[in-house]
């Protein structure tokens, strides 16, 4: 039990983050963290050791999170493939350049709100690929294994997630004439 507790402490933050990215609701994410670790504990003897423990755990957490989404949507099936057939993001439309230092345009909490709101607009199957690959730093192969997707599917979703996020963030970070910042507390630069 002490060894398992160590694993909980090691990976709880990442599991909480991934759960939030999928369910977008803190209470549900808390439940997902609990259920995922419990399930991992119950199935510990099935862990083969030929993949990283973290990818195995995240796979359990992703499945728990998708089930939670399904419950919230009163039984409608939710899969990792939902809404991924959109054409949005396949070609950039907004090609205005960004301010040289977009992070200086907003305060810390305002920036976090913008980033959350922006990524929440993506389908769950894009959010989770982006979160695992670009935020958690998993490789394409590990992401594919974790999500049960092919490598080309991961690559295609990642590209479209990146482009959609870029496009959506452009409305906040675009260069403005005179470079007067809107949200920054301590004045314009």
d(CA 57, CA 54): 5
When the beta carbons of 76 and 160 are compared against another protein, the nearer one is 160
Taking CB under 8 A as the rule, does residue 42 contact another protein?
yes
Taking CB under 8 A as the rule, does residue 3 contact another protein?
no
Minimum distance of another protein from residue 75's CB (angstroms): 25
User: Interface with another protein by CB under 8 A: which range of 50-58, 72-80, 108-116, 141-149?
Assistant: 108-116
**Per-residue exposure over 104-141, b if at least 16 CB sit within 10 Å of its own CB, e if not:** ebbeeeebeebeeebbeebbbbbbbbbbbbeebebebe
Taking CB under 8 A as the rule, does residue 38 contact another protein?
yes
Q: Could you tell me if 184 and 109 are in contact, meaning their C-beta atoms sit under 8 angstroms apart?
A: no
Taking CB under 8 A as the rule, does residue 143 contact another protein?
no
Taking CB under 8 A as the rule, does residue 162 contact another protein?
yes
Query: If you write DSSP's letter for every residue of 114-169 in order, what string do you get?
Result: HHHHHHHTS-HHHHHHHIIIIIS---HHHHHHHHT--HHHHHHHHHHHHHHHHHHH
Residues that bind another protein (CB under 8 A): 1, 4-5, 8-9, 12-13, 16-17, 20-21, 26, 29-30, 33-34, 37-38, 41-42, 91-92, 95-98, 102-103, 111-112, 115-116, 119, 130, 134-135, 155, 158-159, 162-163, 165-166, 169-170, 173
């Amino acid at each position: 039990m002490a060894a398992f507790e160590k694993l909980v402490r090691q990976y709880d933050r990442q599991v909480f983050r991934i759960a939030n990215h999928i369910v977008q609701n803190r209470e549900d994410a808390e439940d997902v963290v609990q259920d995922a670790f419990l399930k991992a504990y119950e199935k510990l003897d099935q862990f083969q050791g030929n993949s990283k423990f973290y990818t195995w755990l995240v796979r359990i957490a992703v499945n728990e999170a998708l089930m939670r989404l399904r419950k919230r949507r009163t039984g409608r099936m939710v899969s990792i493939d939902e809404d991924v057939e959109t054409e949005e993001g396949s070609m950039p439309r907004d090609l205005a350049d960004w301010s040289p230092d977009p992070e200086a345009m907003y305060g810390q909490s305002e920036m976090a709100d913008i980033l959350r709101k922006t990524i929440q607009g993506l389908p769950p199957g894009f959010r989770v690929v982006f979160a695992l690959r670009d935020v958690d730093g998993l490789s394409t192969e590990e992401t594919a294994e974790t999500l049960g997707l092919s490598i080309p599917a991961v690559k295609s979703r990642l590209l479209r997630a990146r482009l959609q996020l870029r496009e959506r963030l452009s409305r906040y970070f675009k260069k403005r004439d005179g470079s007067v910042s809107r949200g920054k507390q301590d004045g314009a630069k």
